[in-house]
């Protein structure tokens, strides 16, 4: 049942996105599409965290526990993005000596 509700919400958001694409003003179109993508991300990630942790959303303690777990999940995701970005910046992107394809072997 919960899976059907998830797909129903995602379907509604996709339909709203298609309608937003039909709008005339480009500025409004981008803003609405951005909001729909944000809503899809928040909804799907909250559903994923809820399903993986079996959180009871019918009580106030369960809601606070869900908020705590979800914000921890988001913070961990941002920490991972920060670490990946830092490692990508430290890489040598200017080297052009072709060392990757030396001796006909891919390293």
55: number of Cβ within 10 Å: 21
40 plus 79 within the same structural domain:
no
Convert the pLDDT of each residue in 61-74 to its tens digit: 888 888 888 888 88
Convert the pLDDT of each residue in 6-38 to its tens digit: 677 778 777 877 776 676 666 677 777 788 788
Q: Which two tokens stand for residue 26?
A: 């480009």
46 plus 79 within the same structural domain:
no
Which value, in Å, is the radius of gyration of the alpha carbons in the chain? 21
62 plus 35 within the same structural domain:
no
**23 found inside a domain:** yes
20 plus 60 within the same structural domain:
no
- What average pLDDT score do residues 66-93 get? 87
Q: Is the CB of residue 45 less than 8 Å from the CB of residue 73?
A: yes
Please tell me whether the overall predicted TM-score, pTM, comes out greater than 0.85 for this model.
no
38 plus 69 within the same structural domain:
no
48 plus 60 within the same structural domain:
no
41 plus 67 within the same structural domain:
no
Domain that holds residue 12: 1-54
> pLDDT grade, residue 82 (50/70/90)?
very high
């Amino acid at each position: 049942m919960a899976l059907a509700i998830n797909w129903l919400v995602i379907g509604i958001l996709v339909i709203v996105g298609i309608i937003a694409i039909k709008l005339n003003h480009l500025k409004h179109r981008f803003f609405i599409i951005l909001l729909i993508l944000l809503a899809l991300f928040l909804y799907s990630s909250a559903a994923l965290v809820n399903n993986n942790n079996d959180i009871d959303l019918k009580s106030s303690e369960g809601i606070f526990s869900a908020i705590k777990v979800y914000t921890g999940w988001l913070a961990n995701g941002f920490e991972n993005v920060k670490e990946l970005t830092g490692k990508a910046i430290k890489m040598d992107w200017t080297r052009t000596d072709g060392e990757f394809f030396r001796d006909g072997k891919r390293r």
